[in-house]
Amino acid sequence: MTDIWRMIARRLLLGLLTLFVISLVIFGATELLPGDLARELLGQSATEETLAALREQLGLNDPAPVRYWNWLTGVLQGDFGVSMATQKPISELVGARLGNTLFLALYAAALSVPLSLLLGVLAALWRNSIFDRASNAMALTSISFPEFFVAYILVLFLAQTGIFPSMVRITAATTFGDRIYMAFLPALTLTLVVTAHMMRMTRAAIINLLASPYIEMARLKGMSPLRVVLRHAVPNALAPIINVVALNLAYLITGVVVVEVVFVYPGLGQLMVDAVTNRDIAVVQAIALIFAAAYVLLNLIADVLSTITNPRLMHRR
Amino acid sequence: MTNLILPRGISRRGLLQGAAAIGAAGLILPAGARSAMAQAKKGGVFRIGLGHGSSTDSYDPGLWEQLYVQTFAAARVNYLVEIAADGTLVPELAESWSSADGITWAFAIRQGVTFHSGKTMTPDDVVASLNHHRGDASTSAVKPFFDPVTDIKVDGQNVIVTLNAPNADFPYLMSDYHIPVLPSADGKIDPNTSDGTGGYIVESYEPGVQATMNRNPNYWKADRAHFDQIIMLTILDPAARLNALMTGEVDLIDQVDPASISLLESRGVSRIISVSGNAHYVFPMDARAAPFNDNNVRLALKYAFDRQELVDKILAGHGSVSNDNPIGPANRYFHAEMEAKTYDPDKAKFHLKEAGLDTLEVTLSAANAAFSGAVDAAVLMSEKAAAAGITITVDRVPDDGYWDNVWMKKPFCASYWGGRPVEDQMFTTAYAAGAAWNESFWDNARFNELLVAARSELDDTKRREMYHEMQQLVSFEGSTIIPMYNNYVMAVANNVGTPEKISANWNLDGFRCVERWWFA
Amino acid sequence: MTMLLSLIIGLGLFFAIGWSSRLAMHAVAPAQHKPIYRDMPLTAAFGIAVILIYVLVATLAPLIAPFGEGEVVGDQYLPWAAPYHLGTDKLGRDMLTRLIYGARNTVGIAFATTALAFVVGSILGIWAALQGGWVDQVLSRFVDALMAIPALIFSLLLLTIFGTSVLTLILVIAAVDATRVYRLARSVSQGIVVMDYIEAARLRGEGTWRLIRREILPNAMAPLVAEFGLRFCFVFLAISALSFLGLGIKPPTADWGSMVRENATLITFGDITPLLPAGAIALLTVAVNFVVDWQLHRASGLKE
């Protein structure tokens, strides 16, 4: 067990390194983008004079490395700074949005993970049956529609008929029950988007093991197919399943900006897009780091769980 | 995913769109529209869903540039003067204005107006509000408006503005949405204040998401601001806006996708408001660069596409054909008798031949950031031009950074203009040689000469002749393709009452739907 | 009622296509391969037939299509009637023609992108698992860093910086996809490299490349192939999402992802036009994955 703790500690340290690399990559990329915040804020009406005045005011005239250094030292002291466009503290801007994003991600995960594991196991158990083929074809169809299109279809059938609202207008005063009700359509959209991937990986990972000699042995001993799958195949198929679940969870946190836009959901994705469009670098950096941290942590958890399920991974050279 | 990066539609060129509308145009209403409701009623929560707004929007008036902040401002603040729905200039916080010589302007400031905070509005606040846009440190988008201003001072209840040269249209500039009157302290306004003198008081505002405002009980205008509450939402996705309107979650949306207009009408839950003005879509060509430095090439391109097709397919009929003329039918000196340009491949070939060419290959850079449907319009032009031996390669460029990287940088691209109420303003801004926004870099000696002469010509007939000649020059020798005038198209719930005349000066009744409209 | 009817017709078509394609393949297959096709499930036969039809349509597009790719043939949104069998789009271009050319452009790009992503991603992933140590660490941390940036934002940044030609589009989407493939390949191979037979092969002195190709790849194939089927269709979605941002394939080139986006608003009014390109994508996705499933099944060695 100490090995695992050592691995976690090491990975966390490496995670910090990853975050540092990301902050560099993002900063560099936004620097490479044409235009800057002053240009975007003034838009077409910019003149050289007003641009210069605004750049001065925003501190954009410092060379890029200086601005990066200022930002980095701030972050190391726990200060993410203020949004250059609105002068609001970033913690204030990001806080409520982060809560909304996590709420939607967990909501969608609570629907999709059990559903896809169940479907995946059943499909592996009854492989090549009508159930297998039909659930497969349906999952594939839902996954091959773009997210916004799935959302429009759900809105057509479930919102235009008045059952659910077509927009999610969440404020601080919204109760938990109302949130669940209002966010149902976006959560369902995301469920349809991620289920097929997880379900198919589950099925494939299990089926991949079914030809192994030890499964053959279990079968020869007269075990029921359900028992074979659950007791012998699933535990050994967990590594790839856990990985694909982690990938999709991370996606639910970081990649749902389209769903946010369609349902007017105030999440981090839209905020990041706005910030990128307007080159509000401090906000971009803060959100990129949040996304990255979510990613690193989920991957770490996935690797730890994989290791636990396959102890052989522990004893490598 | 995101028009991030999402299509914000037309938003940017606030300053370029003109300060006033003298000759506003007519309003097209569907048959049976219930607009002529006799009396405005009070009450109700008016929910507006706009395809604009970003989490980087700020309170600073010098940085306002799109419909969301403009409308938000119209609810919260007042200006010195207002453009009425018929395009005339009417008093707002300035009760009257006068000038003997066009150089010194006196604005008589209204008394008894209070800010939401309870502070009384004074001429000092006006001076500080105007000064926010002046000076070296100013970051305001309308700083150029104030370049000719040499002095602003208080004289009793008057504010005196002194210019360095006569300008008869100066009061029109004071209606610009960037220049609200805000409370001041020690001669400075706080640009980030949420205070104002307007009809609604801000309750909460989350940029890029939602603003909630309640009616100002002490509003000094008795016959305005009819709603109890205004809720403004940013809904960037066009389909989401349509859905929100159809499911009754909002009462007004802007930027109705042309393809959806007839479908939306057939639903019967809302009505379309389509206001024609002088706004137009343009494709400027860099007149300094080959091949566009040859007028025959430019003429060949002007005859090589079908204007009516663009109006039908890009605007779904909500607009009209333009003859490469930035002066619209609503202008005083509009030249209606110019020879109309139709789709004529033979004529295009003729002009190519005149230019010594058999075929022509050009690249047209377009993004929907220029105007909604710009890429499609370019594709249609390219298709039709093939018959004239002209190959137009459509280069669809990213929306992101369009105005920085493409506009006035690529030799042939897409752009748009809000109409200018005064001919001189339109021509001076975008067609005079050397003007900052002369996007085609066109330089025509005769045109430049006429422009200066017409400004001081007092004889109306002579002036008309001059402006007609200038339109003729822009149309047949200019370096800008102007295929169409576009309407402002919005959709409202059936129970929203609107005045008979809706302003063509800006979208959403000159942004003032919030205080001019009501629930029936 | 109409739904039920179309369901019945759809199922009928499915069986008809599946059956006839199985018969045909069985007939033309060389003698030693005949048993494979005799036992092939109908779904796989259907999938192969659909893929073949798509490939045929894609290669012969200019011959089959009734009009030119970008040709404006009439008014916008004409109804479904000859000569415009599927009506016209918002610019008055023939919908059927656009769909046919879309097959060529979209499938070609999707295939090139996915193949590139898999070659790069799986080789690096397996190599990292095999080497372990700092190679694994450096590669994995780098990939982690790239994956931690949301794919769409990352693509947007890259495409805004490098431009939006078809080649950059392929490279950018492949780069984003390769990170996902890398992760999967690495985690699958990690389970394999600790197996005894790898140890044995190492002791035999086999080189890294040979280990990857001969020992690990065959055993890691199943999940990779399953992933391929899905990644393939994600490319369509990525293009569609990018066209949401105005960064997709440049007009007037027809591609299904952009066609869905262009017409998507119509579905709000119950108009099924956008279902055509979306359906074309879905059908291909289902077909490809049916074949993938069949191959998986055969590779697993399961008999039932």
The CA distances from residue C176 to A194, B255, B490, C154, C292, in Å, are: 18, 34, 40, 8, 23
What whole-number distance in Å separates Cα of residue B309 and Cα of residue B327?
Answer: 21
Q: What tokens were used for B250?
A: 């909002």
Question: Which residues 6+ apart lie within 8 Å of B408 measured at CB?
Answer: B284, B439
Give me the pLDDT at residue B363, please. Answer: 94
What secondary structure letter does DSSP report for C92? S
How far apart are the CA of B144 and the nearest CA of chain A, in angstroms? 8
Helix or strand run (H / E) with residue A202:
helix A184-210
- Per-residue pLDDT tens digits for A220-239: 888 888 888 888 888 888 88
Asked whether the beta carbons of B21 and A245 are under 8 A apart, the reply is no
Tokens of A179: 């949130």
Contact A33 C157 (CB under 8 A): yes
Residues linked to residue B188 through DSSP beta bridges, in sequence order: B185
End position of a domain, from candidates B160, B188, B216:
B188
Instruction: Name the pLDDT band for B23 (thresholds 50, 70, 90).
Output: very low
Separation between Cα atoms, residue A104 and residue A85, nearest integer Å:
27
Residue from the list C247, C264, C268 with its beta carbon closest to the beta carbon of B398? C247
pLDDT of residue B27: 39
Residue B254 lies in a domain: no
- Residue range A177-204, pLDDT digits in tens: 999 999 999 999 999 989 988 998 888 8
Report if residue B316 sits inside a domain: yes
Q: Which positions in chain B touch A93 (Cβ < 8 Å)?
A: 55
Residues in chain A with CB shorter than 8 Å from the CB of B203 are none
Same domain membership, residue B336 and residue B444: yes
Query: Which chains sit next to C, with 3 or more Cβ pairs under 8 A?
Result: A, B
Check whether B122 has a pLDDT greater than 50: yes
Do C252 and B383 make contact, defined as CB atoms within 8 angstroms?
A: yes
User: pLDDT tens digit string along C159-170?
Assistant: 878 877 889 889
Sequence-separated (6 or more) residues with CB below 8 Å from residue A110: none
Distances in Å between the Cα of A258 and the Cα atoms of A263, A270, B94, B236, B237 are 9, 8, 46, 11, 9
Say which residues have a Cβ less than 8 Å from residue C170's Cβ, sequence separation at least 6. C109, C112, C113, C116
b/e string for B83-100 if b means 16 or more Cβ within 10 A? Answer: bbbebebeebbbeebebe
Do the chains contact at A22 and C151, CB–CB below 8 Å? Answer: no
pTM of the predicted structure, to 2 decimals: 0.84
From the list B173, B144, B190, B177, the residue with the least C-alpha distance to B64 is B177
- Bridge partners (DSSP) of residue B234 are B50
Residue range of the domain that includes B160: 1-23+78-188
Q: Which of C184, C265, C302 sits opposite A243 (nearest CB)?
A: C184
What per-residue confidence (pLDDT) applies to C30? Answer: 82
Summarize the confidence of residues A166-180 as an average pLDDT. Answer: 86
Q: CB distance B2–C77 less than 8 Å?
A: no
Quick one: average pLDDT of A170-179?
A: 84
Q: Tell if the CB–CB gap between B4 and C245 is shorter than 8 Å.
A: yes
User: Residue B299: which of B330, B272, B324, B268 has the closest Cα?
Assistant: B324
According to the model, what pLDDT value does residue B7 have? 31
Q: Where are the alpha helices (DSSP H) in B111-152?
A: 123-131
In terms of domains, do B291 and B178 share one? no
3-class SS shares of chain B: helix, strand, coil, % to 5: 30, 20, 50
**Predicted local confidence at residue A208, as pLDDT:** 77
Stretch B395-400: mean pLDDT, rounded? 83
Give the DSSP H or E segment for B321: strand B319-321
Cis amide linkage into residue C83, ω under 30° from 0: yes
Report helix, strand or coil for B288. coil
Model confidence at B16: pLDDT above 60: no
Q: B508 lies in a domain?
A: no
- CA–CA separation, C222 vs A210, rounded Å? 12
> Greater confidence, C190 or B30?
C190
- Does B207 touch chain A if contact means CB atoms closer than 8 Å? yes
**Rg of chain B over all Cα atoms, to the nearest angstrom:** 23
Q: Which residue has the higher pLDDT, A164 or B453?
A: A164
| One-character DSSP codes across C220-287 | HHHHHHHHHHHHHHHHHHHHHHHHHTT-SSPTTS--HHHHHHHHGGGGGGT--TTHHHHHHHHHHHHH
pLDDT at B482: 96
Structural contact between residues B74 and B198, judged by C-beta atoms closer than 8 angstroms: yes
Determine what percent of chain C is predicted with pLDDT higher than 90: 11
pLDDT: is A77 or B202 the higher one? Answer: B202
pLDDT band, very low/low/confident/very high, at B9 (cuts 50, 70, 90):
very low
Q: What sign does the dihedral A168-A278-C165-C69 (CA atoms) show?
A: positive
Residues 80-109 of A with CB under 8 A from B: 83, 85-87, 93
Looking at B188, B215, B237, the residue that finishes a domain is B188
Cα separation, B114 vs C35, whole angstroms: 91
How far is Cα C80 from Cα C93, in angstroms, rounded to an integer? Answer: 13
Residues 6+ apart with CB under 8 A from B460: none
Q: Does B324 score more than 80 pLDDT?
A: yes
> Tens digits of per-residue pLDDT, B139-179?
888 887 788 899 999 999 999 999 987 777 788 888 888 99
For residue C279, what are the CA distances in angstroms to A237, A271, C2?
Answer: 33, 32, 18
With respect to residue B233, please indicate whether it lies within any of the assigned structural domains: no
**CB atoms closer than 10 angstroms to residue C131:** 14
Q: What pLDDT was estimated at residue A27?
A: 87
For residue B112, what pLDDT is reported?
Answer: 92
Is residue B73 a contact partner of residue B61, using CB atoms and an 8 Å limit?
A: yes
* B57 within some domain: no
The reply to whether B301 and B165 lie within a common domain is no
Per-residue pLDDT, averaged over B245-263, amounts to 89
Instruction: Identify which of B293, B285, B508 has the alpha carbon closest to the alpha carbon of residue B410.
Output: B285
Handedness of CA B436, B442, B443, B449 (dihedral sign): negative
Check if the beta carbon of residue B413 is closer than 8 Å to that of residue B406.
yes
Domain membership flag for residue B170: yes
Instruction: Quote the pLDDT of residue C238.
Output: 83
Please tell me the distance from the alpha carbon of residue B115 to that of residue B181, in angstroms, as a whole number: 10
Task: Indicate left, alpha or beta for B215 from its phi (over 0: left) and psi (-120 to 50: alpha).
Answer: beta
In the block, tokens 């499930």 appear at C41
Neighbouring residues of B260: CB distance < 8 A, sequence distance ≥ 6: B238, B242, C265, C266, C268, C269
- % of residues, chain C, pLDDT over 70: 96
In a domain, B296, yes or no: yes
pLDDT (0 to 100) of residue B419 = 67
Q: Write the CB contacts of C40 (distance below 8 Å, at least 6 apart in sequence).
A: C22, C25, C294
Amino acid at A15: G
The answer to whether residues C79 and C108 touch, using CB atoms and an 8 Å cutoff, is no
* Partner-chain contact A160 B404, CB within 8 Å: no
C-alpha neighbours within 13 Å on the C-beta side of residue C246: 28
Q: What CA–CA distance (Å, rounded) separates C142 from C133?
A: 14
Question: Prior bond to A146 cis, omega within 30?
Answer: no
The pLDDT of residue B3 is: 31
Lowest mean pLDDT among A160-169, A308-317, B146-155, C179-188: A308-317
3-class SS of residue B512: coil
Contact assessment for residue A33 and residue A279, using Cβ atoms and an 8 Å cutoff: yes
Instruction: State residue B133's pLDDT score.
Output: 93
Q: b vs e for A30-64, b when ≥16 Cβ sit within 10 Å of the residue's Cβ?
A: beebebbbbbbbbbbbbeeebbebbbeebebeeee
Q: Is the pLDDT of residue C14 over 80?
A: yes
Residues B450 and B323 grouped into a single domain: yes
**B13 with A39: Cβ contact below 8 A:** no
A53: chain B residues, CB-CB within 8 Å: 136-139
- As a whole-number percent, the residues of chain B with pLDDT over 90 amount to 56
Looking at residue B13, what is its pLDDT? 36
- B136: tokens are 């070296």
| H-helix or E-strand spanning residue B185 | strand B184-185
Q: How large is the average pLDDT for residues B492-505?
A: 89
Question: Which of the listed residues B136, B155, B188 is the one where a domain comes to its end?
Answer: B188
Kindly report the backbone phi and psi dihedral angles of residue A159, in degrees, each rounded to the nearest multiple of 5, phi listed first: -105, -40
Residue C300: pLDDT band with limits 50, 70, 90 = low
Query: How many domains does chain B contain in total?
Result: 2
Same domain, B463 and B334: yes
Same domain, yes or no, for B184 and B323? no
Buried b (16+ CB within 10 A) or exposed e, B197-209: bbbbbbeebbbbb
Which pLDDT value is given to residue C171?
92
> Hey, which residues 144-183 in chain B have their CB within 8 Å of chain A?
144
The pLDDT of residue B299 is above 60: yes
| The pLDDT of residue B61 is above 50 | yes
Both B298 and B444 in one domain: the answer is: yes
Q: Let me know whether B475 and B328 are in one domain.
A: yes
Contact C150 A244 (CB under 8 A): no
CATH assignment at residue B125: 3.90.76.10
3-state secondary structure of B48: strand
- Judge whether residue B285 has pLDDT over 90: yes
The reported pLDDT for the residue numbered C245 is 67
Record the tokens describing residue B440, joined without a space.
């085609």
pLDDT beyond 80 at A84:
no
Q: What is the pLDDT of residue B33?
A: 39
Q: State the Cα–Cα distance between residues C60 and C12, nearest whole angstrom.
A: 27
C217-244 helix and A147-154 helix, angle to the nearest 10 degrees: 60
Do B120 and B16 sit in the same domain of this protein? yes
B98 vs B158: CA distance, rounded Å = 11
- Lowest-confidence segment of B280-294, B311-325, C57-71, C78-92 by average pLDDT: C78-92
CA distance B234 to chain C (A): 17
Neighboring chain C residues of B375 at a CB cutoff of 8 Å:
246, 251
For tokens 């870099």, the residue is B441
Dihedral Cα A25, A27, A30, A32, nearest 10 deg: -70
Interface test with chain A among C149, C179, C290, C295, by most A beta carbons within 10 Å: C149
Beta bridge partners, B274, equal B28, B489
Judge if B295 and B402 occupy the same domain.
Answer: yes
CA distance B344 to chain A (A): 35
User: What count of CB pairs under 8 Å joins A to B?
Assistant: 158
Examine the domain organization and report whether B302 and B165 are in the same domain.
Answer: no
Q: What ipTM was reported for this prediction?
A: 0.84
Minimum distance, in Å, between the CA of residue C186 and any CA atom of chain A: 10
CB contact under 8 A, C230 and A197: yes
Q: For residue B399, give the CATH number of its domain.
A: 3.10.105.10
Q: Do B383 and C72 meet the contact criterion of CB atoms below 8 Å apart? A: yes
Instruction: Check CB contact of B143 with chain A, cutoff 8 Å.
Output: yes
Residue B155 lies in a domain: yes
Span B290-297, mean pLDDT?
Answer: 92
Chains touching A by CB (3 or more pairs below 8 Å) = B, C
Mean pLDDT of chain A: 85
Amino acid at C256: W
Q: What is the pLDDT at residue B21?
A: 35
- pLDDT tens digits for range C242-280: 776 667 788 788 888 888 888 888 888 888 878 888 888
pLDDT at residue B115 is higher than 90: yes
Q: SS3 for B488?
A: strand
